[in-house]
Structure 1
Amino acid sequence: MTTSLYDSSESLFLGFDLSTQQLKIIVTNEKLAALKTYNVEFDVLNKDVYGVHKGVIAIDNEEHKGAIVSPVFMWLDSLDQIFEDMKKDSFPFNKVAGVSGSCQQHGSVFWSKQAEAALAELQAKSTLTEQLKNAFTFKHSPNWQDHSTGKELAEFEKIIGADNLADISGSRAHYRFTGLQIRKLATRFNPAKYNATWRISLVSSFLASVLLGKVTTIEEADACGMNLYDIKAGDFNEDLLAIAAGVHPELDNVKKDSPEYVAGVTALREKLGKVRPISYESEGKISPYFVDRYGFNPECQVYSFTGDNLATIISLPLAPNDALISLGTSTTVLIITKNYNPSSQYHLFKHPTMPDHYMGMICYCNGSLAREKVRDEINEKYNVKDTKSWDKFNEILDKSHSFNNKLGIYFPLGEIVPNAAAQTKRSILTAENKIVDVELGEKNWVEDDDVSSIVESQTLSCRLRAGPMLSGSVKTTASTSPSPPPEGDDKQHLHHVYKDLVDKFGELYTDGKKQTYESVTARPNRCYYVGGASNNGSIIRKMGSILAPLNGNYKVEIPNACALGGAYKASWSYECEAKKEWIAYDKYINRLFEKSDGMEKFEAEDKWLDYFTGVGLLAKMESELKHN
């Protein structure tokens, strides 16, 4: 291949995506055009050396039960390999003006005292692995799938409490989060190696460090996935550091302000280093190693790397109060908000490119699996030959134009949000406003009812939990929006609808928190649908009618979203630096999508007011679920 693909580009930008199973790089230019993608699969790369399956090693023994890790040297090998592949492809490294990217969240890398010198002295004649062989105290990084920190999870929540921990760090305790992983290493796995550790990086700051040739700071948005960072204070929380370091007075019988306590907290703070506030500023120029070995421009700037979910939201022109709904095996809802309203049932992170904004993330186990189960039952009932066909399911769903006071909750798997055991629950709201549980096959409930019910309940759950994040940051009318408000959507009428809701159901609570007028009546600005089920027009039209965003529903194709987000972040940062001013990020990349084939607006009935009854019914049904 010649460089003709790149001849018309003034500058090139690389977006990295170091995920669980591969390292990917996407090449874009100053016009945000995606030009080419390169990737290295970990299961193929040096397979006999690392013995990974789907990019990880599962450790199944009594001491480390549930541990899932990735070899750090495998990542280094993949970086050299992908650049070698690009070099063979005659890629013009000299035209790269900036790099950024995303990495799997919550993983951590532990640098030894030899790391600083080793990174600074990298020579082009040898590989990264050869030269950094003594740069790590732990040769493996905990993966986001790791479940070996049950003891630590219980300890964090015993001392801090799930809700309080969410208030501080944006999330309750999770197995994979860095603070728990550090406590495991510091107190029971290998305290000696932990004490010998010089610095601790997240995977995102690790990759940025290698490219810079020096250990760099943790980026603030990704720091929110550690259970250590106080988001409102903008610093690590001392109480959480004490737990992670194994010197907490209540857990570890160490007196506060004793030399042992002070030393433990101080040492961990130094190992973690500073957290880099959200910024467009470069972290430095690329390491001479990559200039000499591959031909990078010595002026190429390395901009901060972030986490994978965070990179996904910056692959689209998401504005405040927009929602990105990923409809895969599981369902993930990402929301951009100015409102810091944390909950133990979802996550809040700082936004990686928009100061004073946050990304809310709601994760459900039961997505397509639950819908497919209903589809299969419908196909069996109607003797559909193609058992995987959605035609009959969609035909039934399309006939549903309003809420019929029937709702089901379908959890083939135990659910994360709400925290509930595997179960199915079907309920009917009577004319007397009584909630009656029914079984499939009874007079008032047949298989066809499950079709609309499953899509409605999944969407209403998103609506219930998005509300508190949007509350206080979105108006219930479209007065600040170019589109007119739906008929009857005025403040007086909404108060009447809300009062009627409370009269029917009483006060509503979701995940233990009271819903308010503001949270129940908050609406998203725009909704974007991605993932497998977004290709089913009937499903997303129904979801769109229930969520009823003020400014439209969009089906989006964003292949390589994490890498793209990284590339866009690099070119945005580069332009901000050139102009020496902060450019609004959503406006910066909106120019790409104004004429994009990858974004398709679709029409959906506005049934937002009609589904207020469904909001109340779901909240009451969830309060009676069986818990794990």
Structure 2
Amino acid sequence: MPTKSDSYYLGLDLSTQQLKCTLIDQDHSIVLEEAVNFDNDLPEFGIRHGAIQNGNVVTSPTLMWVKALDILLSKLEKSRYIGKIKAISGAGQQHGSVYWSQHGIEKLGHLDPRLTLTEQLKDGFSIEQSPIWQDASTTRECRALEEFCGGPEALAKRTGSKAYERFTGNQIAKIYAESGEKYNETSHISLVSSFLASLLVGKLAPVDSAEGSGTNLMNIKTHRWDEQLLQKCGGDQLSKKLALEPVEGGDVVGKVDGYYQKRYGFSPECKILPFTGDNSATLVSMNLNQGDCVISLGTSDTVLVYLKQGEAEPTTESHLMAHPIDTTGFMGMLCYKNGSLTRQHIRDLYASHDWDSFNKHIQNKARNTDAFGFYYWMQEIIPFAKGIYRFENGKQVQEFSDPSINVRAILESQFLSMRIRLGRMTHDGKMKRLLATGGAAANPHILQVLSDVFGVPVYKQKGMNSASLGGALLAKYGTLDKRSFEDMMKNHTTEPELVCNPDSKETAYYDTKLEEYIRLESVVLADKANV
């Protein structure tokens, strides 16, 4: 039914494979959702699953993201809401970086409404392929940064995480060392999230502190760039290229640029709020209670928990990131590169490219109870390993005696790793409920295994793109005067839908397998180290 609201809030999400938007009204009802799928809608950029992979080097064309925004706004223009949008915020895939040329910055400040963004910014980037979170080519830079700080633990205490290949500081360090001419041609560096905000505000936009904590460059306590780390990763120029200190969620970046007012009909009063990371935006959309844990099953798998000050301690396996709303709180995160694409790979190999067949194998409880699999199809983040390893009766094998075991084994392996590491990050790991999101959350059979492994019920929000919804909520939050996010959500929170409860017998089985899982994982890592 048509809404009577005169105020709307737009959230964008520039993820690995799509640019999505969610528009909400004053009561937080979703009135419009749109998406641009990069593979389907922008095949001219030669990407697969939104990216270009060359060994451990993984990038996305920066101009592809610009063109996706052109397409998405053309769709929104046809709606009756666009002139009533009060604020825009959103999310971007974490860690990815954009390298503006001086020409690009000048063009951004003088956009011509007669032309598309793509036409005007086609020569706007000193590096045309943006490194993204899937890149694993900066191991040398990671070790150098940790050594500079006195070890991985010292870096984690300083920035919230040890050095990770995908983190922006290490990506910048590689470009600084290997592509000095391109680095010198770079006027400013954005993250994917602040890049999208910059496009909308018509000038360089700051990152938010949650995104800054995914760079290995921001001090996790002060929410400011660490000058020593900037110098190490990018020399004397990096401070100038970043230009702006991180800001907090709810701070207004500016008004939507006149280009969008004239070309698409946005209101001149439409505010632009800081954009955050996709995981941070998901955390916002879920409005977590004590004992809640978000598990996002997407291109990557992520585990998110809201930690109060005093509950949070950095580890070398997890990430401690600034919270997008609570300036004294934190977001604890685990991130796995082998998510939906790896599950799909196993489906193709062992379930005839068919999800129904995949689900039948999941439901087969007559499994080999001594079978374990570790599926690092892509270079994994936690742990840092690559390859597929299988064990039966404690011994490594090339293939299971029944190959269909792989279907259930991949889910068990992924979810056991989450449970074990969540326990280390939160001291006990005891959750009251799991909130599932991401593409694979549409599969109740996968969620049942998740529930059984953790021993708690699994819930799901109804019909939502969590990151873009989080962006829309952040947009509304930024328009309020002296009102907390909790107050804003109090009267508009929709209870998530219960999907499944754990099977106590299955949970008891997984309880007995934790130590063996840890032991076999250590065998895998030792084997990797000896290769």
Please confirm whether the aligned pair reaches a TM-score higher than 0.5, indicating the same fold: yes
Per-residue deviation, 1:528: 1.6
Q: How does 1:412-431 map to 2 (within 5 A)?
A: 412-413=375-376, 416-420=381-385, 422-426=388-392
Q: Deviation digits for residues 295-314 of structure 1, max 9, x if unmatched? A: 11111111111112222222
Report the alpha carbon displacement of residue 419 of structure 1 after superposing the two structures with TM. 3.8
Match of 2:267 among 297, 306, 316: 297
Q: CA deviation at 1:617?
A: 4.1
> How do residues 87-486 of structure 1 correspond to structure 2 at under 5 angstroms?
87=77, 89-115=78-104, 117-132=106-121, 135-160=124-149, 161-189=151-179, 191-246=180-235, 264=236, 267-327=237-297, 331-338=301-308, 339-364=311-336, 388=357, 390-391=359-360, 393-394=362-363, 396=365, 408-413=371-376, 416-420=381-385, 422-426=388-392, 437=394, 458-470=414-426
Cα 1:174/1:417, change in 2 over 3 Å: closer
1:387 & 1:93 partners in 2: Cα distance? 41
Q: 1:40 matched to which residue of 2?
A: 36
1:582 Cα offset (Å): 2.1
- Do 1:341 and 1:468's aligned partners in 2 also have CA atoms closer than 8 Å? no
Shift of 1:622: 3.5
Q: Which whole-Å CA distance do the structure 2 matches of 1:446 and 1:21 have between them?
A: 34
Output one character per residue of 1:73-127: Cα deviation in whole Å (capped at 9) or x when no partner.
333333233222332x243321111111111222222233455543333332333
Q: 1:571 aligns with which of 454, 458, 476?
A: 476
Q: 2:257, 2:24 → 1: CA distance? A: 21
Aligned residue in 2 for 1:529? 436
SS state at 1:91 partner: coil
Partner residue in 2 for 1:591 = 492
Structure (1 or 2) with the larger CA radius of gyration: 1
The residue that corresponds to 1:476 in the other structure is none
1:600 to 2:506 alignment: no
Q: Does the 8 A contact of 1:104 with 1:144 survive in 2?
A: yes
The alignment yields a C-alpha RMSD, in angstroms, of 3.8
Q: CA deviation at 1:134?
A: 5.7
Structure 1 residues 6 and 194, CA gap change in structure 2 (3 angstroms): farther
Structure 1 distance, partners of 2:143, 2:414, is: 30
Aligned partner of residue 335 in structure 1, secondary structure: strand
- C-alpha contact 1:323 1:527 (8 A) present in aligned 2: yes
Give the distance between the partners of 1:386 and 1:615, measured in 2 at CA.
28
Which residue of the partner structure matches residue 513 of structure 1? none
Q: 1:10 to 1:367 in 2, by over 3 A?
A: closer
Q: In the superposition, relative to structure 1, how do residues 292 and 542 fare at CA in structure 2: closer, same or farther (>3 Å)?
A: closer
CA contact (8 A) 2:361 2:404 kept: no
- Corresponding residue for residue 73 of structure 1: 63
Q: Is the 8 A contact 1:185 1:194 kept in 2?
A: yes
- Distance (whole Å) between structure 2 residues aligned to residue 76 and residue 413 of structure 1: 32
Gaps of 5+ in 2: none
Alignment-mate amino acid for residue 584 of structure 1: E
Question: AA paired with 1:38?
Answer: E
1:488 alignment partner in structure 2? none
Residues 43, 541 of structure 1: CA spacing in aligned structure 2 closer, same or farther, 3 A cutoff?
Answer: closer
Q: Report Cα offsets for 1:153-191 as digits up to 9, x if no partner.
A: 3433443433333332233333332112212222221x2
Letter in 2 for 1:335: V
Answer whether contact 2:224 2:246 (CA < 8 A) is retained: no
The one-letter code matched in structure 1 to 2:28 is L
Compute the displacement of 1:391 (Å).
4.1
Q: Is 1:337–1:469's contact at 8 Å kept on the other side of the alignment? A: no
Q: In 2 relative to 1, CA 244–580 (structure 1 residues): closer, same or farther, beyond 3 Å?
A: same
Q: 1:78 to 1:601 in 2, by over 3 A?
A: closer
Relative to 1, partners in 2 of residues 1:43 and 1:554: Cα closer, same or farther, differing over 3 Å?
Answer: closer
- Is the Cα–Cα contact under 8 Å of residues 390 and 396 in structure 2 kept in the other structure? no
Deviation per CA, 1:433-485: give whole Å up to 9, x if none.
xxxx3689xxxx99999998876655443222112322xxxxxxxxxxxxxxx
SS in structure 2 opposite 1:68? strand
Post-superposition Cα deviations, 1:237-269, rounded to whole Å, max 9, x if no partner, equal 2332122124xxxxxxxxxxxxxxxxx1xx311
> d(CA) in 2 for partners of 1:320 and 1:198?
43
CA distance in 2, matches of 1:588, 1:127: 37
Alpha-carbon distance in 2 for matches of 1:111, 1:374: 40
What SS does the aligned partner of 2:251 have?
Answer: coil
User: 2:75 maps to which residue?
Assistant: 85
Partner amino acid, structure 2, of 1:235: R
Shift of residue 324, structure 1, vs aligned partner: 1.7
SS in 2 for 1:592: coil
Q: State the 1:150 CA deviation.
A: 4.2
Contact 2:206 2:245 (C-alpha < 8 Å) held by counterparts: yes
Q: CA deviation at 1:291?
A: 1.1
Alpha-carbon separation, structure 1, partners of 2:482 and 2:508: 46
Q: By how many angstroms is 1:567 displaced? A: 1.3
Counterpart CA distance in 1 for 2:39 and 2:436 is 31
Q: Is this contact kept in 2: 1:317–1:589, CA < 8 A?
A: no
The CA deviation string for residues 307-334 of structure 1, in whole angstroms up to 9 with x for no partner, is 1222222222223442122346764322
Identity of aligned residues (%): 35
**Residue type at the aligned position of 2:454:** L
